[in-house]
Chains A and B, each alone.
Chain A
Amino acid sequence: MTEDKNYLEMDLLRFTTAGSVDDGKSTLVGRLFYDTKSIFEDQLEAIERSSKQHGDENVNLALLTDGLRAEREQGITIDVAYRYFATPKRKFIIADTPGHIQYTRNMVTGASTANLALILVDARKGVIEQTKRHAFIADLLGIKHVAVCINKMDLVDYEQSPYEQILKDFGDFASRLDHVTELTFVPISALKGDNVVERSENMPWYKGPSLLYHLETVYVGSDANHVDARFPVQWVIRPHSDEHHDFRGFAGRVAGGVFKPGDEVTVLPSGFSTRIKKILMADKELEEAYNPLSVTITLEDEIDVSRGDMLVKPNNQPNVDQNLDAMLCWFSSSKKLVAGTKYLLRHTSKDVQAIVTEVLYKVDVNTLRKSEDDRELGMNDIGRVTLRVSQPLFFDTYRRNRNTGSFILADAFTNETLAAGMMR
């Protein structure tokens, strides 16, 4: 397992799995665990026991991820499950997203924090409508790295031609993806293990790396925005002790760019400018802070700053507006979007009220066509909308910055989370 001295230097890759039901997502995750020895004996024994109970011949690696009672009973995955494993190179967080009714909602959720999307395609079926839908959602959520796993190669005798066909079909369509900068194809058998951890001898025609090698080495260090300095204030630290009587620190997580002591900053919405005195992490002073670090910033001048405000650089300011243009994914199964209804909107550390003023179009997630005739957004629907909010928001386009370009809508009565939005 993990080599000790590396552990403190390891970085993190968050990825999400996508595929239609039965394409082998759970089996693949189980396989990655099994072959990297990230699964423990008591877990293995438990799934062996339960495989027998369910009448499976082989140990069903899918049972490792299907944790809820109802999931095991019905043999399906219901909710996004988060899984962890590590190799000496990296720690991985997997959002394993189920592929049935609430699919869009689950995949959007899993993709929202992922650096990479792993899309499974059944080698026998090739690129189908759902494959395009998965790629579209990964792209919509700003994922830059997509790995297409052509699975069940054992069922096509490890032949090259189905792989080539998928490469071609996917390539034709990939030009329409905006955010994706890196697209990789790996032929695998999740069940037998080919090309998952080790390169397979069954497919000498494939010259690329194994899936795990790719996951271990894909470079995601420049995915975050390090250009536009944005610091949404989450909490104001004012110790009521004699020792720190005059201390006022602004706590938050850097959402973009780089902040250093001495930098001139402007506070939004007040517009006052001052300089950064110190950047603190508890009692340690830092030389700089960038995403995703949580820090506390102190300022040279005493100016009024509270939760929901944002520190930025005077020469690089975000959009400040009460009118928004956004892509919206609707999640609620009980309520459809109704234009004119007051919703609660949360953006960075700010809560405002919001009204959807217009649905511009709806995207048919299967054909990816925009429809201006059908503009009703219900569960799992995606559309482009305009909104008006009760106070100006400080935002960037989602494309430029995931942290300052995203928001959620909640119901003002039930408090349920209704939708997720991405600024355009």
Chain B
Amino acid sequence: MRTYNVTHLNQLESESIYVLRETAAQFERPCLLFSGGKDSIVMAHLAAKAFAPAKAPFNFLHVDTGHNFPETIEFRDRFVKKLGVQLVVGSVQDSIERGTAQEETGPDASRNGLQSVTLLESIEREGFDACLGGGRRDEEKARAKERFFSHRDAFGQWDPKNQRPELWNLFNGRMGPGENFRIFPLSNWTEMDIWQYARLEEIDLPSLYFAHEREVFERNGSLLAVSEFVVPRDGENPSKETVRFRTIGDATCTGAVRSKASSLDEVIQEVAASRVTERGSRSDDRRSEAAMEDRKKQGYF
């Protein structure tokens, strides 16, 4: 008898494409949250495939903390142009100036939490009824409980104890006025799947993910890059090292890793041998055991 095998990457790809098409069909004005990180790049790549030869029917939304590595913004603009999609930028700086968000103070201040405010403001301003996010369930334990179609109330809040059951591939995207959905097509992907798929599909990724020389120093166990937003304090001694990033987020809280991996093949080998999760280098998640859950309840991605 003939067998019909589908590799796990093909299964994941088909599942994600199914979710992206469902999103287009069930919502009036969905957007795709594009951060310039590898997950959102893979999601955008899948969106392009899902609707080819037409363009993906989503606006791209970048919630910009203003604390970016310049490479990220360059990459973003190039990428969006190539796909021919519309980019909307929500600026955390604008929210702060308007007074709707308050800059954190203290030694470990970060704009990460403020992204929620700007995100919710952008959703309201643009009238988005669903936001596609690149979140994966393997990233973090609160995310492990997340649905593909995740309902948010009129305040953008996630209620983890009262989620809609999600069965088979039947997604319920119905909602009341002012409510919203977050949709996670990459839910079932792991970090390794993302890298392997990027290699298989020859997806172009920002140079930050590959080994390069950079001025870095240690703070609270993370290796931070010196930039206009991150200035070493007394006793913190920056030095030039060969590093790369496993995730790309706000420059103030995304740690680098020492690495010589300069190609996807080498990155994959390194990830396979790694004994620390990618979020292990992000100080925003180490604040408390439930840091992610608390941020998500308030409207975070």
Contacts and interface: CB of A to CB of B under 8 A. Distances in A.
A8 B7 contact: yes
Contact of A12 (B2, B11, B163): B11
B75 to A, nearest CB: 22
B165 A331 contact: yes
B53 A108 contact: no
B141 interface: yes
Contacts of B8: 10-12, 90-91
Nearest to A113: B168
Interface string B136-151: 0110111111000000
B51 A251 contact: yes
Contacts of A237: 51-54
A123 interface: no
Given A8-B200, A84-B138, A402-B168, A234 B54 contact: no
A410 B176 CA distance: 13
A11 B5 contact: yes
Interface stretch (B126-134, B234-242, B265-273): B265-273
Interface string B289-300: 110011000000
B79 interface: no
Contact of A239 (B4, B5, B54): B54
Contact of B53 (A1, A40, A244, A292): A244
B160 A4 contact: no
A112 interface: yes
B49 A282 contact: yes
Given A226-B4, A408-B170, A415-B172, A69 B293 contact: yes
Contacts of A65: 141, 144
A344 B26 CA distance: 14
A292 B167 contact: no
Nearest to B165: A109
Contact of B276 (A41, A84, A293, A307): A41
Interface string B269-290: 1001111110110000000011
Contacts of A42: 276-277, 279-280
A417 B276 contact: no
A142 to B, nearest CB: 10
A42 B283 CA distance: 12
B52 A282 contact: yes
B196 interface: yes
B252 interface: no
Contacts of A249: 53
A147 to B, nearest CB: 20
A406 interface: yes
B188 A410 contact: no
Given A67-B293, A81-B145, A40 B172 contact: no
A342 B229 CA distance: 57
A230 interface: no
A292 B4 CA distance: 10
Given A42-B276, A86-B190, A234-B25, A222 B168 contact: no
Interface stretch (B15-23, B91-99, B113-121): B15-23
Nearest to B289: A50
B199 to A, nearest CB: 9
A176 B249 CA distance: 54
Contacts of B9: 8
Contacts of A72: 289
A373 to B, nearest CB: 28
A403 B168 contact: yes
Interface in A198-256: 221-222, 224, 226, 234-235, 237-241, 243-244, 247, 249, 251-253
Interface in A310-343: 331
Given A1-B273, A68-B161, A281-B49, A346 B172 contact: yes
Interface in A390-420: 402-403, 406-408, 410, 414-417, 420
Q: What are the 7 closest A-B residue pairs judged by CB atoms, nearest first?
A: A67-B141, A42-B280, A239-B54, A415-B174, A12-B8, A282-B49, A294-B14
Given A68-B290, A79-B161, A84-B137, 17 more contacts: A1-B272, A8-B7, A10-B7, A11-B5, A11-B7, A40-B277, A65-B141, A108-B167, A237-B54, A244-B53, A282-B48, A283-B52, A294-B17, A307-B25, A349-B22, A416-B164, A420-B165
Interface of B: 1-15, 17-18, 21-22, 24-25, 48-55, 137-138, 140-145, 160-161, 163-170, 172, 174-176, 187-188, 190, 192-193, 196, 200, 268-269, 272-277, 279-280, 289-290, 293-294
Interface of A: 1-2, 4, 7-12, 40-43, 46, 50, 64-70, 72, 78-84, 86, 90-91, 93, 105-106, 108-109, 112-113, 221-222, 224, 226, 234-235, 237-241, 243-244, 247, 249, 251-253, 258, 280-283, 290-294, 296, 307, 331, 344, 346-347, 349, 402-403, 406-408, 410, 414-417, 420
8 contacts: A2-B272, A7-B196, A93-B188, A112-B168, A235-B25, A239-B54, A402-B168, A415-B176
